[in-house]
Every structure is written in structure tokens, then in C-alpha cells.
Structure 1
């Protein structure tokens, strides 16, 4: 098993190196980017700041390097992921800030593929189909645009890991599996809260779907309630255990939630976002179906729609392209699943097992749930408001505004369904050579749809802006004000 995982990881490492080329060639001086990259500079600067503070015996929590003369509390918002913060800054201190950033990018691409592979293998898909599903999820456009802009949002393998663990826990609720599930939740809470939110909806969807399937089965009510009730208590108890372990990290959040913010600075407030943002940063009808704007052939076509109500205004938030190849294969799976439930399979089609049917049904359900969550608070249909989940969730969790980020959950579900779809398509062929050729064709189509260079998506940070040479010659006790702040180039460093 470990040998297989090693080979699979090597496969995704090689693909990551190719698809992010030439980043691998200068991993300590290049960073991934595209034309609207800005937040990357602030992240790398903070890695440098922590190392500088340690070397010069300065406080890590506060810095005098910005907001002079008072300085700035870098942990003031309370959104501090202590495990994540320690790991990335340790790597930055030992090697370099740029390497720390790039290593996380590579790490997240590879783990997204590996864990999707393991998930689909658990669903009884064979190795080629599991690799195909992993390829789709790991290298979808959403993953790339996040690597160019929002590092913490590239940890999407956590969604897959937690889903894999809850499936294993349901099938075999052993002490070992309970421990592994708790560790997966602990890791989830230790990174990005947006990913934590998405994962919570995924896990809740799995529990709800399991309950619904149990209700439909011809079993005694008492037995059903006992089995599902025990499963719910187990999951709830393990999640609470992980939260207790992370209590120091969560206390600051609860304190900030108790403070009523001034509406005049909603945009800057960490825990209460403007309700209007939910309309701006939600999925649009074309977001899922149009290629990424940086695609070398089709990008210009999509760019015409950026800023419209049909696509959305953001190059990053509204890049939710699922790919037509995965979508068609997912539809093949859905059609086959429906036929199987009605016992309409033909002679050349193998019958879907009950376990396969359960999981295919779940991922169909997950596509629907995640798509609904990615929508704006309501649809206005001829003056009638049809409310979506984000409207109600904002009243409970007002700190989340970019509901289009549920697009990555839609992508995960489509990737898994596409893996099943490839399996069903290949059943039509008898020759192994033909099957291999068809598989290679589908992989090539996916990679073509998700391709994003030329031009290369990197910035060379070894080329220091000239202003820094001027600053170096100035007295050390001066204060510099930058009007306006240049946030679109390495000058932000």
C-alpha cells in the first residue's frame, strides 16, 4: 500500500512540476502569480518579518516596521492558525521565505491529487480511474488561481481527507479510525476557516444523505435509529474533542464575535462582512462552464464576460471552471446510476453494486448542495425572491462572504463522478490497448482544458525594485510613507 502511495505521489509531483513550470527551476527566487497577483507579497514579507524579529530579539506579535510610530499587532484579528503559522515560519527560517511559500504550493497540489486518489480507491474504483479523478481535482483552474493569489485556500486536500476519514469511520468505527478522524478534524481547524466551513457542509451532507438512505431502506426503525444515532454521536464527540484541543486558537474568535462592529468599516472587519459582498462574491451562471481567462486558446473569449452578471467580476473568485470533459463523464455516471436504479442496464454494462450506488448518489447530492451554497442570497425571479442557503447562513456566520468558494466542493464531486464515468465508458471496449488509448485521450483532454501557460505564471523576486537600493542608503531611524501604496508589484515587499 505504501509503495503504491509513493508511486502515486511521484506521479503528482511530476505533473505539478510540469504544470507550474518553470517554478521548479528556481524555487527559491520565483513565486507563482498572474496579472492580478498582490497578496502573495504580503505573505512572503511576513515570513521574512518573523525571521527578522527572531534574529534581532524583537516581538513576533507586534511589529514597528509598519503603521509607524505605533506599530501593528499582527495577531490582532484573532484568526491565527497556530500549527500552520509555526510550520510555515519554521520552514521560512530554516531555508527561505520564498521556498516556504512555494513548498506549500507544491505540497498542496500533490496532496490534493493523492487524497482524491485514496478517496476514490476507497469507493472501489481501480487505480487508473482513481488517478484520473485525482488529476481532475488537483489541477483544476480553481487550484491554480488560488496558488497565484491566496495561499491558505490551496489546502483543499483537507476537504478530501476529512471526507475520506468520515467514510472510513462509518464503514468501520474502530478506535484507530476514530483517532484518525479526530486528527483530520484537528488538521482542518489548524489551517483556513473558509476551507473548514466548506468541509463542515460536506460532512453534514454526508451525514444527512446517510440518514436519508437508511430511512429509505427496508429495515426496522429501532435498528436504524440506533446505528445512525451512534454514528452521529461519534462524529459530534470527535469534532468537539478536536475543538477542545484547539481551544486557545478558538477563544480569540469567540471574543471577537461577541463585539458588535461599527457598520462604517464592515469591509475591513474580520468577523462581520457586508451583506452586499455575498452578491458580488457568489457564483454566476457561466462561472462553472467557461474556461479560465489565462487559457492560451480560450482565455480571451472568457475575458469578454469578466465583469458581467453572467460571469462575475473577479479573476480569482469566479474561476470555477469544471471542464467539459469531467462534466460529460459525470453525466455518464449520473445516467448510468439512474438506469441501474431502474434495472435498465444493457448486456455490456456491469451492474453497479449497492455500495457504489450509495456513493455515486452521495456525490450527485453533494454537487447539488455545494452548487446551492455557491449561489447569491436569493434569485429574483419576476419579482419573487427565491432564497438560497447563503442568505440564512449569513445570519449565523457573518464572517463568510465568498460563497463562490464552494465551487471547489462542486469540483471534487464532479471529479469523483468523472472517475466512475471513465470506468463506465471503458466497459464498452474489450481490447486493453483501446482502453489505454481512450484513457490517455481523456487525460489529455482534461489537461488541455485546464492548461494555463504560456505565458509562464511566475514572478522573479530576485530582481529587487530600485527603490529598495535607495532606502538602503537612508538613515535607519526614518519613517517612510508610500502614497498610494503600490500593492500590485514587488514594491509591497
Structure 2
């Protein structure tokens, strides 16, 4: 046993607890865990706790079972890192530092290596209830010095209804075992500022970072609250402040392997951290006092709850924070009379954090706007939502877990007072009733979802040939649940947070679009394109979800996979069809392409614009400081990299190139076209897997601000920005004419302006009753001859009736023009014969006239690249 852990247990022994007592307490909580999660212990490998009878493979439960597997797999693989995984969104991969990755619980599955990951994960879930109870028991015993009171404290915290609400899907929120120890170690440090207590205060706080980011953020808030309370009430303020700072430094050092990369991801990358909808996932004022409909005790009064409460806003996984009436009685009636210094602090902690669970505005029975003027009552949570660390924590109700720490200790103090009353027998009876009712109230049988493994999984798992798996359609909302069985990387699979620049790559070329949404294609992929993609990415298997397609579409997909991609069908049942690429993947001799070539779309993997015209050339512009190209596996040898890179804007600009993560070139770019070259030695290019070439510059980059023409309405600059279905937040449509900004919802946003600068804006959609195509054509035809027409698509540019090409013919577009309705589309056009400015494709689309605002420091674009064998 590690020396530090021995010293900590020795400290508990000196406080009056023996190791045998600790073992018995843990055994009691473990038995309760098995009972309260029943029948999970009997179905460790076959079920997951969730609300569906059969596991929904797009659910949070399916997603959260993958994280522990990845952590266990990566820790034992010399070629993998727990902080990054290219097993999803291959070949670029995902940063794991921004995911609710359950690092601690993932590590806890390692001793259970003989179990499959589902069984190991379910076992850790059961253990988490017992460990959480034990941690709160230690805290309760330190405050009350009473074993019965501490047992009650551990039960209230470890088995609170909040945890059972989130057990159905939010498995990462089960990792609550460190939070009471953070509070305990901090209080011990204040009471007895010894080096040992300082060390443990830092360890427990640092360890919380490996559980869940919500809990780490909330633990920081709890530490701040306890520290502020002790600074106000104690005389040793400087000592306390110094020790807290030192504990914080130790915690940061302990958590640095995760926190430092996470901070880099949060500040330097584009990983989406949702900061909206704070008010959606909050508690109602009635939530602490009304049991959830899932609790056994609420069954007799379910009709009343339905009749008199707004169940959708008061109950549910992100709203229910039921305290329990026996606990309220213990806290308010009995506990208030026996509050010690510690007890008063935990009472204040309970009330303060309960208020924070209510979010930014007070809501009572689903109503938060009051009176004829719809006034809202602001709460302290409104301020919390704007603090840097907490703005990404969009579920205020989850902060209730800190309130439970206070409530459990407060309730334990109340129970202790009853047990110490003069009338011992009567006090024991009252305490027994209150504890028994609390245990009954907390019964919330978990839902159990059966795991039905499809037959194709076994077929793929038996095949040991290399190659990845493509799921058709490539749903961005589908977790890689079967990956522990297939042990194959996947093209698209959802995780908690996704870099918004990743999805557009899988929409750049029809051969990729076919895998993602086969019903939205400009053309059927050719045999050359399909074969090139399979060999580039190493696609061994494609599994088709037949439930997503009608019979005609199923036949069409099978024909294309067999004809264009060279695959053969090896398995079929009622819900899925499996196709395999039967040949070995072959590395190429060399590679050369210009951005103007259609094949370039296969290689513009991350951080590139749509291919755009620039000075009679086609260029793909870097849209972020770090952009990535994919290069196929290449036969071993010595190569020379030659590339044409264009720079507009500030010069000089430094360009660093990396090959498979290792730097191999550092260049200084001047304005105009730069020809760069670098020798690549044998072994630097992979011959058995795809290669990634990174371009990184030292300044903010983007589109050139003079990408349009000098034509336009007078001196008024125009910008049109469009985001398609696969850009961040489902895209957006923006027009900037002078200082005015117009945004639109899904559909086509169309603006018309003349030389006076007056602007008319309309939206055209496909789900309207009228012929929106004909109406758009009429609008353009009847516009003044001097008018400038601006069009931006958001998410969907379909029209009813008249095709888009015919609607745009007055702007010089051929009538047979076809554009994918899910792609980005930005147009500035004129009726006087001037060629329209067009940007269209998978990435953000942007066009503008001369004089438009400067959007970046420099614009770096790729014209051509080649790898030539020496």
C-alpha cells in the first residue's frame, strides 16, 4: 500500500475509526449499492442503465460506455494517448481533453481487465455509489464523531436521488467519490495546518479534475466558499490563505497532465464548448420539495403531480433535485439547534448551492416571467454563468451535488442531536423512522437497456486484416459503441464535444458524401474516385444501416459500394448489410495535385476553405492557424516535398510544416506565390497508413478581405457569409452591407440593394406552400438593373418548384446549375452581365466586394503540392 495512503488511513485510525470499521462501512454501502441499482449486478455484461428497453445506440449511455474503454485501451497501447484519439473522426481524430472522459473511472476498470468493458463499467458504477457513501461517511464522522450520524451522512450523499436521475445516460456524473474528500481535507487543513493535510488537500482536489469537468469546476467553487467562510470566522487568516494557495498549486501539479492540454484546447482550438441554454437545464423552485415520478414513493401521488405541476420543468434528468422531507426536517428542525462551527458552514453551503441550482432567473412551477410586463427575478446563478471557468457549465442543476454534501452533513448533525436527546428511547425511535423513510424515499429503480449485438459485429471482429469501419450513413450523433468489439477505427463517431471544422471534410467530395448522405449527391462516385478513397483512408468495411433507407435506396447503395468502391457483400440481416473491401491496400509511388484538381478535395482535411478562384488560379485558403492535409500511404524511399503557397496580407509570415506530428520544415512566406521545398528521408512517410501534413502559421489567418471585385453599389462594401449543414452550429447566413447585419434561419437569405444603399431582405425556404423557386426568380428579374443581389444559404438551400439554377439565371447562371442543398452557398451577383462572385462547398462560404472589412492578419492559400520520389 502506498505510503501516502497508509498515512491517510492512519489519520482516520487516530480519529477513532479502525480499518475493520472502515471495511464494514464500505461493505454496508456496497450491499446498498447492489440493492439500489438492482438488477444491474445480475446483468453486468448484457445491460446498461438507461430508459430504453433496448439500448439506443445514439444515447448518452452508449457514448459514456466508450470512454472507459478508450482510457483502458490507450493506457496499455504504446502507440496511443489518452489525450487524443484518431479512432473516431479518422484520420484526424479528436482531442480527448475536452470530453467528459471519465478518466478516473476508466482507470478503475483496469483491475477488472478480465471483464468486457460493459461489465467493468457497470461494476465501477456500482462501486461509485459505495465509494461516494464512504467518502461522505469520513466527512460526517469528522464533523459529528458519531458513527450512526456519519453512516446517515454517507447514505444521503452516496444514494441521493440526483445520482439515480443521472444514472440513465450521464454515467460520467456517477464519479462523485472525491468531492466529500475535497471538503474534508480542506477542513482538516484549516483545523490542523500540517504538511500531511496540505498534501491531501491538493491530491483530492487535483484528482477531481480526472472525474468530470463539471465536478472539478464545482469543487473549485466549494473550495472558494469554505475558504471565504473560514477567513471570515477564523483569526488565522494569513495561514489559511497561504495553505489554500499551496494546496491549489499542488492540485494543479497533480492535475497538470490533463488540465494543461485541456486549457490549450479550450483557448487555442475550435472544439465546441456549448455555453448557451443555461436556463434550460436548471432546477425549479419546487424541484427540491417534490419527488421525481421515477421514485417509488411518488407512485401514489403521480396523478396529483401531473395535475398541479409542470412536470417537464420540475421533474426530469436535468431538473429534479429532490431533497427528501425527512432530511429537511432533520436539517431545519433538529439540525439548526445544534450547529457547531463546521455545522453552520455546511448549512450555509447547502443553502447557497441550492440557490445556484435555480439558474440565472427564478422559476416557479415552470414559470419564470411574472406580471403583465413579464418581469424576471435574477439570481446569483446569472453571475456564475458569465465567469470564465463556469460559462461552459450549462446545467446549473448539476451543482446540486455540492449542496448535497452540505445537506448530508447538516442532516447528520440533526440526527446526532436526536440520538443525544435526554429521552434516548424516544430519540432512537424518531431517528429510526426518519432514516427509514429517507431510505424508502430514495428508492429509484434504474431503467435497464438490453444490449443486442448485431450479427455484423462478430463478422468484423473475427477479421484481423487491417482497415477501418465506415458506418453508412455517417451519423455525427452516433457513438462508437461497438468499437471495443470490432477494434477498428471509424470515420465519423460522436463524442461529447467536436471540433466544428471536422465534419466538413466528410462532405467535400461525392465519394465521401455518398458515405455520409447518399441521397444528397451531385453525381454517383466513379470507380476511380471510390477506389482512391478506399485506398487513401484504408476502408476495410462499410456497414449500412438499412433502417435509414427504403428498398430502392438500399439497392442503389449496394450497387455503388460494389461498383464504385470495389466492395463485396459479406453479411445481411433485417437491419444491416456489411460490405468488405477484399484486396490489400497499396501504397502509392508518389503524389502530385493542384488545388484546382477535383482530387484535392480528398486531401483538404482540416482548416481549409472551399476551393476559390484567385488571380486566375484555384486556391484553398487556411481558415485556422493549423490546417491539415491527408497524404496516402507511400512506398518507402526518399522524397522531395514541393508546394506552392500564396500569401496575402501581412508579411513576412512564418510557416511551420509537420509530417505525422514531427516538424520537418520552417519557412518564411512573402507576399504572392511562394515555392517551398523540403527533402523527406526514408521512414518519415508511412507506407502502411495515411500520412498527415500540418501547415501552421504564426498569425491569425482567413479569407483575403478583397476576394471580390470592385463592382458594387457605390462605396458600400458587401460581405456574404454562408454555413451549410456541416459547419459549426448548423451554419448561419449573414449579410453585411455597410454597418448593417442580417441573419436568417434555415433556407436562402436573399438581399437586394441599389446604389442608394437601401436594402430589402427576404427568406426563401423549401417547406413553404408557395413556389419559392418561382418567387425568387421573379424577385431577381424585377429588381432594378443597377441592383446588387446577395444570397446566403443556411443549412438548406432547397426551393419549392422552380430549380435553383433557373431561379438564378438572371444573374448569369446556366439554367441547369445544380448545387447540393446541404452545402454552403454565398453569392453576390448583378444583372448587367458582370460575372457573379460565388463560393460554394463543404466549408464556410464567403464572398465580398472591394472595401470590405479586414477579417484577419494574413491569408495563406495552397495552390499545389507534390511528393516526388528521389
Which category describes the TM-score, using the shorter chain as reference length? Answer: 0.7 to 0.9
- Tell me which of 241, 257, 274 is aligned to 2:250: 241
Deviates more, 1:479-488 or 1:199-208: 479-488
Q: Return the TM-score normalized by structure 2.
A: 0.47
Q: For the Cα contact (< 8 Å) 1:31–1:98, is it kept in 2?
A: yes
Aligned pair partner of 1:41 in 53, 62, 81: 62
| Paired residues of 2:199 and 2:250 also in contact (CA < 8 A) | no
The reply on whether 1:20 has 2:20 as its aligned counterpart is no
Q: Do residues 464 (structure 1) and 453 (structure 2) align?
A: yes
Which range moves more in the overlay, 136-145 or 311-320? 311-320
Query: 2:481 & 2:264 partners in 1: Cα distance?
Result: 35
Q: Is the 8 A contact 2:336 2:414 kept in 1?
A: no
- 2:93 — aligned with what? 73
The aligned residue for residue 326 of structure 1 is 327
Q: Are the equivalent residues in 1 in contact too, given 2:282–2:396 (CA < 8 A)?
A: yes
Aligned to 1:190: 210
Q: Which runs of 5+ in 2 are unaligned?
A: 1-17, 363-368, 485-870
Distance 1:306 1:286 in 2: 11
Is 1:11 the counterpart of 2:28 in the alignment? Answer: yes
> Secondary structure in 2 aligned to 1:31?
strand
1:90-139 per-position Cα deviation (integer Å, ceiling 9, x unaligned): 35644320122112212211111111111111112411111112111111
Contact kept? 1:141, 1:321, Cα under 8 Å: yes
Provide closer, same or farther for how the CA distance between residues 211 and 58 of structure 1 changes in structure 2, counting only shifts above 3 A: closer
- Counterparts in 2 of 1:304 and 1:492: CA distance versus 1, 3 Å: farther
Preserved CA contact (<8 Å) 1:291 1:298: yes
Contact 2:64–2:169 under 8 Å retained in 1: no
Q: Contact between 1:290 and 1:302, CA under 8 Å: does it hold in 2? A: no
Task: Give the conservation status (yes or no) of the 8 Å contact 1:306–1:313.
Answer: no
1:238-273 CA-partner distances (Å, limit 9, x unpaired): 212221343332222322333486xxxxxx812x51
CA RMSD of aligned residues (A): 3.6
Q: For 1:254-306, what per-residue CA distance to the aligned partner results, in whole angstroms no more than 9, with x for missing partners? A: 22333486xxxxxx812x512xx111112111221111221235154487389
Structure that is richer in helix per residue? 1
Q: Whose radius of gyration is greater, 1 or 2? A: 2
Quick one: which of 472, 476, 497 aligns to 1:481? 472
Distance (Å, rounded) in 1 between the aligned partners of 2:461 and 2:395? 40
Matches within 5 A, 1:120-131: 120-131=140-151
- Number of residue pairs matched? 448
Return 88-97 or 115-124, whichever deviates more.
88-97
Q: 1:82 to 1:319 in 2, by over 3 A?
A: closer
1:269 counterpart residue number: 272
Q: Deviations over 1:156-180 (max 9, x none)?
A: 2221010000111111111111111
1:410 aligns with 2:403: yes
Deviations 1:19-74 (A, max 9, x none): 1112222333333223497212123245556777899997567767654xx44523
Alpha carbons of structure 1 residues 430 and 82: separation in structure 2 relative to 1, 3 Å: closer
Corresponding residue number in structure 2 for 1:232? 241
Q: Secondary structure at the match of 1:168?
A: helix
Corresponding position of 1:363 = 346
Task: Give me the whole-angstrom Cα distance separating, in 2, the residues matched to 1:58 and 1:260.
Answer: 23
* Residues 1:410 and 1:134: Cα distance change in structure 2 (over 3 Å): same
1:170 equivalenced with 2:190 (yes/no): yes
Q: Cα distance, 1:445 vs. partner?
A: 0.3
- More divergent stretch after superposition (381-390 vs 112-121): 381-390
SS at match of 2:449: strand
Q: Distance in 2 between matches of 1:291 and 1:468?
A: 41
2:313 aligned partner? 312
Deviation at residue 446 of structure 1 after TM alignment: 0.8
Q: Distance in 2 between matches of 1:31 and 1:47?
A: 14
Alignment partner of 2:356 out of 373, 389, 406: 373
**Contact in 2 for aligned 1:30/1:459 (Cα 8 Å):** yes
Offset at 1:147? 2.5
| Deviation by residue 1:404-455 (Cα, 9 ceiling, x = unmatched) | 11112222222222112222334456354x54443332222012111123xx
Q: Considering Cα pairs closer than 8 Å and 6+ residues apart, tell me whether 1 or 2 has the greater RCO.
A: 1
CA distance in 2, matches of 1:155, 1:404: 16
Q: Which secondary structure state, in structure 2, belongs to the residue aligned with residue 148 of structure 1?
A: coil
The 1-side partners of 2:323 and 2:159 are apart by 11
Structure 1 match to 2:165: 145
> Relative to structure 1, is the Cα distance of residues 442 and 142 closer, same or farther in structure 2, using a 3 angstrom cutoff?
same
- Corresponding residue for 2:110? 90
Structure-1 separation of matches of 2:165 and 2:447: 10
1:451 aligns with 2:468: no
CA distance in 2, matches of 1:424, 1:31: 41
Higher strand share: 2
Counterpart CA distance in 2 for 1:51 and 1:360 is 41
The whole-number CA distance in structure 1 between the counterparts of 2:205 and 2:475 is 42
**Aligned 8 A contact 1:370 1:407 in 2:** yes
Separation in 1 of the partners of 2:430 and 2:381?
41
Task: Provide closer, same or farther for how the CA distance between residues 472 and 419 of structure 1 changes in structure 2, counting only shifts above 3 A.
Answer: closer
Is 1:394 the counterpart of 2:354? The answer is no
Distance verdict in 2 for CA 1:315–1:435, change over 3 Å: same
Does structure 2 retain, via aligned residues, the 8 Å contact 1:376–1:388? yes
- Report the CA distance shift for 1:228/1:279 in structure 2 as closer, same or farther (over 3 A): same
